[in-house]
Amino acid sequence: MSKPDFDLFRISEDHEALREAVRAVAEDKIAPHAAEVDQTATFPQAAYDALVATDFHAPHVPEEYGGVGADALATCIVIEEVARVCATSSLIPGCNKLGSLPLMLGGSEELKHRYLAPLARGEAAFSYGLSEREAGSDTASMKTRATLVGDEWILNGQKSWITNAGFSEYYTVLAVTDPDGRRGANISAFIVEKSDPGFSFGEKERKLGIKGSPTRELHFDDVRIPADRIIGAPGEGLKIALRTLDHTRVTIGAQAVGIAQGALDCALDYVRERSQFGKRIADFQGIQFMLADMAMALESARQLVYVAAAKSERNDPDLPFFGAAAKCHASDVAMRVTTDAVQLLGGYGYTQDFPAERMMRDAKITQIYEGTNQIQRVVMARQLLARGGA
């Protein structure tokens, strides 16, 4: 029997130092604005500036393109620690990775240098355009078209539910390039710039949570882009997009863990101070059982996310299973832990005087975007059936 890979479960000193550094920035520069960002539904500019100043806005960008080259686990730690105080702000590094990873996976070197360098410098942000009104989970049924005319691609159509739309300068957009081709193999990926003529945005969605991150439609009306802005070869777009999600679902798991940790911290602070019947409510066994269950679920989710991050870094063949599992389990845990945190705070938990209710609202989206948790279970089941095990 081979020896188990214990390093897989060990967090290095560098990772712990990174956590301390991100936590300091999050608590000092981001947390003070979190409630206002939520209440006013405004982009967290102070958080963006703080993350850019510390190179935490897009830590995944490799060094050869001007980035810091953080590994997958380090990127998850950044997202987790920011989400602990403000889920909206954690979408800055999260969305930057989602939007630019297709380029990193399938783009030419020239294209990578052209777009990753400004991202690394904090001069531009990236978003990801895959979903449409009638093509959410069924991505292959998208209607957006890209037609090659001479040395340009002409895009027409729309994309829905796009995170940080309008703020980001660059967009990875999926479009059908061969309407008569085989379904799923007829889709290509492109980079669209915010300034491209004919490219516009819909109104901001009015959302339950993550309110400071603008979610809008993308509209393409004869948008002409140079032919060299295609990512990979024609027809490879959906394959690249799905490979991207295998990796970035892990970061959604990290976001969910961060939200849950913030909610648990809030609950712990409250029960230590609140007194009833002559003693702290933290001293009641029923409260202690709730806290223990919350922490146990949270730690199981964190470990699964970290294992999935290690698999993402190595690009292991079972990453699709672990990426889906990490996202699914961690988001379910985040919803449960935040709901219990509101319960522990009682009437105060239902008010905006404490962050628990915001965290509960923010947690919900982690069960929905980058594939609903029902879709994650489909992904996991297919992996199990194809290989006979995880």
Catalytic residue IDs: 370
The whole-angstrom separation of Cα 120 and Cα 103 is 14
Single-letter residue type at 24: A
The vertex-69 CA angle with 175 and 313, nearest 5°, equals 70
The whole-angstrom separation of Cα 103 and Cα 192 is 12
- For 134-171, give one letter per residue: b (16+ CB within 10 A) or e: ebbeebeebebbbeeeeeebbbbbbbbbbbbbbbbebb
DSSP label at 27? I
* Alpha helices for the chain (secondary structure H): 13-25, 31-40, 45-53, 72-83, 87-106, 109-121, 237-273, 285-314, 319-345, 356-365, 373-387
Which burial class, exposed, middle or buried, applies to 289 when counting CB atoms under 10 A from its CB (0-12, 13-18, 19+)? exposed
Q: Is 279 helix (H, G, I), strand (E, B) or coil?
A: strand
User: Can you tell me which residue has the tokens 């961690």?
Assistant: 330
β pairing state of 187-193 and 152-163:
unpaired
DSSP label at 26? I
Question: Which residues, in sequence order, are CB contacts of 15 under 8 Å at separation 6+?
Answer: 73, 74, 77
Give the CA distances from residue 174 to residues 119, 236, 243, in Å, rounded to whole numbers and listed in that order: 20, 10, 13
Task: Answer whether 125's CB lies under 8 Å from 94's CB.
Answer: no
Task: Answer whether 168's CB lies under 8 Å from 99's CB.
Answer: yes
The whole-angstrom separation of Cα 60 and Cα 97 is 7
